[in-house]
């Protein structure tokens, strides 16, 4: 994982990006993209093989859960609130036109449980937590802290990645559900304010529309997002070498990779579960 030959450092892209030849530029990006996915998959395999053997540092996992929760609570809440406001306003407007205003609650909650909740939590955790994991591990790489662990015969994957990964897959569903509820509160307020729908009617419609399957998909998406954020952030952190400027590059890389992957996999899951037959 951490030896020099399999490294994609910020350096590669930085040097190559000065070359004006667009083909070479694309090649560099494509090549490093394939490498990145490979590194993430290798790391994920190692992580799961440790988890399945019970090699989990629970106190550290709890500490990481606290960090993720603490860092994300406010931003996830705020983004979910305002996404909920905007979305409910649009939905209310259209449904009122069709005279279907009693269905507002159902449509809003469907959007929230199937798409908006997991995406909002995923993207905000990617920006807030993934980036800081990437920065932290990159710093540890370039200041030889990871080397020091290896000399002390401590496996960096077990010591650093497993607790972060565990925290990711535990906290992401929690934050997704939380985002969904905040969005629902926003929806109730908009439905009442803009379309005069009482909260009870709104919630009735929610109950009639949401199925058990929607919860399963919700948690599946959250689990995948947790996996994406922590795995890519850790893989980027542990494969970066160089100097202090590479910390910033790794942070950016981590945000771009995790967010892109979240949107891609969100669509994959949606298309596998909700495509009309």
Partner 1 sequence: MAQAAETPAIKAVDIHKSFDGRPILRGVSFEVYPGETLAIIGPSGCGKSTILKILCGLLEPDSGEVIKETHDIGLVFQGSALLNSYTVRENLQLALRGRKLSKADEEEQIRKTLALVGLADHLDHYPSELSGGQQKRTSFARAVVYNPRIILYDEPTTGLDPVMSTIIEDYMIELERELHAASIVVTHQYSTWTRTADRIIMMHAGRIVWTGDPSEAVDSDNAYIYQFAHAKREGPMLDA
Q: Which of 18, 53, 98, 153 binds partner 1 (CB under 8 A)?
A: 153
Contact characters 80-119, partner 1, x per CB under 8 A: ----------------------------------------
Distance CA 31, CA 14 (A): 14
Contact characters 172-191, partner 1, x per CB under 8 A: --------------------
Distance CA 71, CA 57 (A): 21
Distance CA 238, CA 232 (A): 10
Q: How far is the CB of 163 from partner 1 (least distance, A)?
A: 12
- Contact between 53 and partner 1 per CB under 8 A: no
**Which is nearer to partner 1, 139 or 252 (by Cβ)?**
139
Phi/psi at 138 (nearest 5 deg)? Answer: -60, -45
**Which is nearer to partner 1, 94 or 144 (by Cβ)?**
144
In sequence order, which ranges of 98-211 are alpha helices (DSSP H)?
104-111, 117-125, 131-142, 145-151, 156, 162-195, 199-209
Q: Which of residues 5-44 bind partner 1 (CB under 8 A)?
A: none
- Contact between 154 and partner 1 per CB under 8 A: yes
Counting DSSP H helices and E strands in the chain, the numbers are 12, 0
Give CA separation, 255 vs 2, 75, 126, 248, in Å: 21, 16, 6, 11
- Contact between 144 and partner 1 per CB under 8 A: yes
What contacts 201, CB < 8 A, 6 or more positions away?
Answer: 102, 105
- Contact between 70 and partner 1 per CB under 8 A: no
Distance CA 216, CA 229 (A): 20
Q: Which of 20, 151, 275, 276 binds partner 1 (CB under 8 A)?
A: 151
Q: Which of 8, 80, 108, 140 binds partner 1 (CB under 8 A)?
A: 140
Number of residues that bind partner 1 (CB under 8 A): 16
Q: Which of 66, 94, 147, 245 binds partner 1 (CB under 8 A)?
A: 147
**Which is nearer to partner 1, 97 or 152 (by Cβ)?**
152
**Which is nearer to partner 1, 193 or 248 (by Cβ)?**
248
Q: Which stretch binds partner 1 (CB under 8 A): 133-141, 195-203, 214-222, 268-276?
A: 133-141
Q: Which stretch binds partner 1 (CB under 8 A): 84-92, 143-151, 240-248, 249-257?
A: 143-151
Which of 268, 254, 240 has the alpha carbon at shortest distance from 168? 254
Q: Which of 74, 86, 148, 268 binds partner 1 (CB under 8 A)?
A: 148
Q: How far is the CB of 51 from partner 1 (least distance, A)?
A: 19
Q: Burial-class residue 83 by CB neighbours within 10 Å (0-12, 13-18, 19+).
A: buried
What contacts 9, CB < 8 A, 6 or more positions away?
Answer: 239, 240, 241, 242, 246
- Contact between 149 and partner 1 per CB under 8 A: yes
Segment (H or E) for 255: helix 245-274
Interaction site with partner 1 (CB under 8 A): 3-4, 136, 139-140, 143-145, 147-154
């Amino acid at each position: 994982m951490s030896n020099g030959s399999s490294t994609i450092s910020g350096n590669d892209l930085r040097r190559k990006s000065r070359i004006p030849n667009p083909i070479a530029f694309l090649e560099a990006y494509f090549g490093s993209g394939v490498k990145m996915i490979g590194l993430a998959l290798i790391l994920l395999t190692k992580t799961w093989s440790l988890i399945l053997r019970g090699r989990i540092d629970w106190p550290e996992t709890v500490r990481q859960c606290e960090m993720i929760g603490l860092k994300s609570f406010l931003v996830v809440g705020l983004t979910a609130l305002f996404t909920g406001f905007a979305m409910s306003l649009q939905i209310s407007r259209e449904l009122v036109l069709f005279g279907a205003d009693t269905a507002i609650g159902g449509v809003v909650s469907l959007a929230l449980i199937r798409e908006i909740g997991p995406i909002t939590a995923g993207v905000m955790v990617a920006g807030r937590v993934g980036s800081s994991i990437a920065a932290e591990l990159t710093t540890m790489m370039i200041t030889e802290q990871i080397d020091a662990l290896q000399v002390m015969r401590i496996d960096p994957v077990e010591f650093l990645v497993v607790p972060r990964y565990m925290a990711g897959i535990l906290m992401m569903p929690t934050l997704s559900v939380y985002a969904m509820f905040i969005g629902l509160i926003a929806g109730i307020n908009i439905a009442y304010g803009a379309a005069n729908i009482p909260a009870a009617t709104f919630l009735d419609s929610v109950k009639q529309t949401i199925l058990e399957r929607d919860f399963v998909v919700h948690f599946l998406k959250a689990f995948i997002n947790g996996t994406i954020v922590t795995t890519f952030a850790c893989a980027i952190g542990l494969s970066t070498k160089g100097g202090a400027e590479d910390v910033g590059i790794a942070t950016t890389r981590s945000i771009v990779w995790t967010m892109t992957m979240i949107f891609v996999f969100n669509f994959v899951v949606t298309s596998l579960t909700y495509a009309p037959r």
